[in-house]
């Protein structure tokens, strides 16, 4: 899979998006991140690995602690992808607008 695929897959899950929002607040410990979620630490770890694979999250080890932080750079790639789609639809709707004007 390409980098963009990894990012889209990572973002295509509500739990992972919620995790990103929490991590966005600054460096966070895995155990603290897991606390608000009604799922096991093990599944949180799995979600975090998906986010790390997409390079959306960085992990730093301090002794036994694993500290996670947000890396916003890959989001730019997604933004570009979405922008492309937006431009496509916008130009199609421009054509629709013209077609509608001709009718009236």
Place of tokens 């602690």: 65
| Binding footprint of other proteins on the chain (CB under 8 A) | 1-2, 4-5, 8-9, 11-14, 17, 78, 80-82, 84-86, 88-93, 95-97, 99-101, 103-104
Least distance CB 33 / other proteins (angstroms): 20
The answer to whether 22 touches 56, Cβ cutoff 8 Å, is: no
| Residue 11 Cβ vs other proteins, minimum distance, rounded to whole Å | 6
Residue with token string 């997604």: 78
Of 39 and 82, CB closest to other proteins = 82
**Contact between 13 and 60 (Cβ < 8 Å):** no
């Amino acid at each position: 899979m390409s980098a963009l695929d990894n990012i889209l897959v990572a973002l295509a899950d509500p739990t992972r998006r919620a995790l990103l929002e929490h991590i966005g607040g600054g460096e966070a410990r895995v155990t603290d991140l897991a606390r608000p979620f009604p799922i096991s630490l093990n599944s949180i770890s799995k979600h975090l690995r998906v986010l790390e694979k997409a390079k959306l999250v960085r992990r730093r080890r301090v002794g036994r602690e694993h500290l996670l932080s947000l890396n916003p750079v890959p989001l730019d790639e997604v933004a570009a992808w979405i922008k492309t789609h937006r431009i496509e639809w916008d130009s199609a709707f421009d054509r629709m607008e013209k077609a509608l004007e001709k009718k009236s």
